[in-house]
Structure 1
Amino acid sequence: MPDKRIGLSEAVSSIESGMTIGIGGWGSRRKPMAAVRELLRSDVTDLTVVAFGGPDVGLLVAAGKVRKLIYGFVSLDSIALDPLFTAARERGELEINEYDEGMFVTGLRAAASRLSFLPTLAGIGSDVMAANPHLKTVASPYSDDEYVAVPATPLDVALIHVNRSDSGGNAQFLGPDPYFDDLFAMAAARTFVTTERIVETEDLLDEGSFHTLMLSRMYVTGVIETPRGAHFTTCEPDYGRDEAFQKHYAASAKDPESWRAFVAEFLGGDEAGYHEAVARFHAVQEKK
């Protein structure tokens, strides 16, 4: 079995301006935040981002990395809206495809199946159709039914974060939900998996049943060991969401001066520097 371990900078350096990237996870849950932060440090721009969005989308939008967003929602979960994305959306700065969640998944399924579209009932009779005039309907060849023909959403690169992986890319989630990360990987030409820990293949079943082996190595281009790589989002059961830090993120994002200070403190250095700054933040909070 090939060893697919690579460095975070090596993986992200293969992403080029203009690409379509899918970001796994769900809202503020098990997001590949270490990879997102590495993208922030790059000179990549003009991205099309496909996501059930959270702070990943907010950060990339605020940094001017995103031209187009294809999404089902953007939320911080315990905080309803991501303020960075919301502000950009209200200013009309983004080209968007704002899909019903079922339609969003259908687009990924089509790309994963190497089809140009798939039919779905999701969106029929809703304002989603009016908001997406490019969408077309198709008549069933077997009945009088009509479906939304959701175009495939092929990805140049998918970024996902998991709890465990072996060195070959067999990836495991141990939390409550796979969040469609397998579809992101299958819809992508290349997939980079960040993981809390790389383990031996024979140890993958030590913490979960075979049902948790979400992703076969055949879909994985590279594996990057990134402890706390989903911070500040959840990565259950390894850790929960850093609610105090997320509140600080959201509050800082609402004021330009506070946001510049946040970026300088937490996003101005490398990944190790980020975690050191987060530790200092919590040390100050504990003294209050």
Structure 2
Amino acid sequence: MTDKRTTLQEAVAGLESGMTIGIGGWGSRRKPMALVREILRRDDLTDLTVVAFGGPDVGLLAAAGRVRRLIYGFVSLDSIPLDPNFTQAREKGVIEVEEYDEGMFVAGLRAACARLDFLPIRAGIGSDVMAANPHLRTVRSPYSTEEYVAMPAFDIDVALVHMNRSDEQCNAQYLGPDPYFDDLFAMAAKRTIVSAEKIVPTSDLLSEGSFHTLLFSRMYASAVVEAPRGAHFTTCVPDYDRDEAFQRHYATAAKDPQAWADFEQTFLRTDEDGYHAAVAQFHADRGES
């Protein structure tokens, strides 16, 4: 069996400007933040189209000017309703957007998984989503008089997802309450990069969860990176919860140019070990363990 283990740097090295990147997770939950931070370290990686149920992944990439176009169902920090970096980018009109009903978004993923041009869906009919996305078309059923939205498949070059566990072959396992459609991202994309809290022997994959938690198999992924706390500051239950104090710090800093410059210098202009050391110092300065 193929050993697909690699490093953050090697995983992101294969990405190119202009690509369409699908990012798994949901809002501020189990986002592949270590991979996102590695993208930010690549100054030459720009002009991206991002497909996501967005959270701070979208906010950070938008703030860095890496996103040309965003295809999304929402962008939220969950406990904080809106990501300020995304909000500013949206209000300034510096990114192109395609915003969809969540059901339509999932239909776009499912169509890509099935290698279909589109899937019919009722959602969107009679709503402003059609006016906001004038490229959308409708299709009439061949079996009745019903008319549906023909939701186009998302053409994703590379998907990034974060898992609780994986083996070296990239059989991916989640242990939390929800798969967050990460399996659809993996199956929809031409290539998938997985980061995982731990890489374990294949024989140990069922030691912490039933076979139902094996979200997708190695055939859908090309690389896996062991990245402890790789979803920080979002949740990665049961390994850890969201770092609410740090998320508030992120959201507050995003609203002030000087504070944001300080945030970038402290947390983003460093390698992954430096990031986690800076986060630890942030909590130490607050008197937290």
Paired residue type of 1:54: G
Q: In the alignment, what sits opposite 2:72? A: 71
Paired residue type of 1:74: V
Paired residue type of 2:31: K
Q: In the alignment, what sits opposite 2:173? A: 172
The correspondence of residues 1-288 of structure 1 with structure 2, limited to 5 A, is: 1-42=1-42, 43-286=44-287
Give, in whole Å, the separation in 1 of the partners of 2:108 and 2:246.
Answer: 33
CA deviation string 1:89-138 (max 9, x = no partner): 01111111101000101011111111111100111111111111110100
Give, in whole Å, the separation in 2 of the partners of 1:13 and 1:200.
Answer: 26
Give, in whole Å, the separation in 1 of the partners of 2:286 and 2:134.
Answer: 48
Paired residue type of 2:93: G
Secondary structure, counterpart of 1:214 in structure 2: strand
Secondary structure, counterpart of 1:97 in structure 2: strand
Given that 1:29 and 1:233 are in contact with CA atoms closer than 8 Å, whether structure 2 keeps it comes out as: yes
Secondary structure, counterpart of 2:236 in structure 1: coil
TM-score w.r.t. the length of structure 1 is 0.99
Give, in whole Å, the separation in 1 of the partners of 2:94 and 2:4.
Answer: 38
Give, in whole Å, the separation in 2 of the partners of 1:69 and 1:20.
Answer: 9
CA deviation string 1:118-174 (max 9, x = no partner): 100111111111111110100000011100001110211000000000000000000
Paired residue type of 2:16: E
How far the C-alpha of 1:277 sits from its partner, in A, is 0.2
Give, in whole Å, the separation in 2 of the partners of 1:125 and 1:40.
Answer: 40
In the alignment, structure 1 segments of 5+ residues that lack a partner are none
Matched positions, count: 287
Q: Segments of 4+ in structure 1 off by > 2 A?
A: none
In the alignment, structure 2 segments of 5+ residues that lack a partner are none
Identity value in percent = 73
Paired residue type of 2:23: I
TM-score w.r.t. the length of structure 2 is 0.99
CA deviation string 1:52-94 (max 9, x = no partner): 0000000000101000000000000000000000001011111
Secondary structure, counterpart of 1:286 in structure 2: coil
Give, in whole Å, the separation in 1 of the partners of 2:127 and 2:246.
Answer: 37
Give, in whole Å, the separation in 2 of the partners of 1:212 and 1:124.
Answer: 35
Give, in whole Å, the separation in 1 of the partners of 2:68 and 2:171.
Answer: 32
CA deviation string 1:228-271 (max 9, x = no partner): 00000000000000000000000000000100000000001100
Paired residue type of 1:88: A
CA deviation string 1:158-204 (max 9, x = no partner): 00000000000000000000000001011111100000000010110
Paired residue type of 2:39: L
Given that 1:112 and 1:154 are in contact with CA atoms closer than 8 Å, whether structure 2 keeps it comes out as: no
Secondary structure, counterpart of 2:273 in structure 1: helix
How far the C-alpha of 1:215 sits from its partner, in A, is 0.9
Secondary structure, counterpart of 1:160 in structure 2: strand
Give, in whole Å, the separation in 1 of the partners of 2:168 and 2:30.
Answer: 20
CA deviation string 1:3-33 (max 9, x = no partner): 1001110010100000000000000000000
Give, in whole Å, the separation in 2 of the partners of 1:5 and 1:280.
Answer: 30
> What root-mean-square deviation, in Å, do the aligned CA atoms of Structure 1 and Structure 2 show?
0.6
